[in-house]
Chains A and B, each alone.
Chain A
């Protein structure tokens, strides 16, 4: 069985602080993909990043960075100099084989980030 754990249910930070959202996953597959999505109060799930299990390079996109460590089965997400617009629920997800040649996403429970001005 595959599982994604986001242990932090809610985090509050003051604007301009850095914040790291944790994601730990379990899988028996040797090849897999991990994703991060952002869900602002409006409801839409916004795709942020996709990472495959063979690529352990950290990635940076503006104020966002991701640290993938296969040895610890973690795929953590850091926001530098947080802004109020970063307030949202963030989901980590693992691509899972669902049979009949299809794959589906297994989501973590999400971390609600509140950035206080």
Chain B
């Protein structure tokens, strides 16, 4: 089973709203990732969690706040977003982050529209 689930599938929010994206995996993976993907572009890495600790933050604005409550769950809290933050947000997981052979498995994504 290589399933990563994400909720919600679609989200529309205003610039003053607070919302959260949720990602879950039950593969025993210890690394989880958030990516942002704009239309016709490759995914861009935002955050990496390794063993529930934030290991990489790719200079993401503070209006995006990640959280890893346990090894199976990853959240992305959104607050005061801008219209340019509208994108597909992808979650991924891998067994570890410490090896270049690690395969990342992606969820179906959340399509976010900020009005």
Cβ of B68 under 8 Å from chain A? no
Interface size on B, residues (CB 8 A): 27
Contact stretch, chosen from A18-26, A59-67, A76-84, A100-108: A100-108
The answer for the CA separation of A60 and B108 in the assembled complex, in Å, is 26
Contact A98 B104 (CB under 8 A): no
For the complex, would chain A's binding face be called helix, strand, loop or mixed by DSSP majority? strand
For the complex, would chain B's binding face be called helix, strand, loop or mixed by DSSP majority? loop
Interface size on A, residues (CB 8 A): 28
Q: Provided the pairs A44-B108, A97-B100 are in contact, do residues A104 and B2 lie with their beta carbons within 8 angstroms?
A: no
Q: Which residues of B contact A102 (CB under 8 A)?
A: 48, 50, 55-56, 97-98
B interface residues, Cβ below 8 angstroms from A: 2, 40-43, 45, 48, 50, 55-56, 88, 90, 92, 97-109, 111
Give the tally of cross-chain contacts (CB within 8 A). Answer: 66
Q: Which of B100, B104, B108 contacts A43 (CB 8 A)?
A: B108
The answer for the CA separation of A101 and B102 in the assembled complex, in Å, is 13
The answer for the CA separation of A107 and B37 in the assembled complex, in Å, is 12
The answer for the CA separation of A47 and B107 in the assembled complex, in Å, is 11
Contact A31 B42 (CB under 8 A): no
Q: Which of B40, B90, B98, B103 contacts A47 (CB 8 A)?
A: B103
Contact B102 A95 (CB under 8 A): yes
Which 3 interchain pairs have the tightest Cβ spacing? A107-B42, A95-B100, A45-B106
The answer for the CA separation of A52 and B103 in the assembled complex, in Å, is 12
Cβ of A42 under 8 Å from chain B? yes
Contact B104 A105 (CB under 8 A): yes
The answer for the CA separation of A43 and B87 in the assembled complex, in Å, is 11
Q: Report the minimum CB–CB distance from A74 to chain B (whole Å).
A: 18
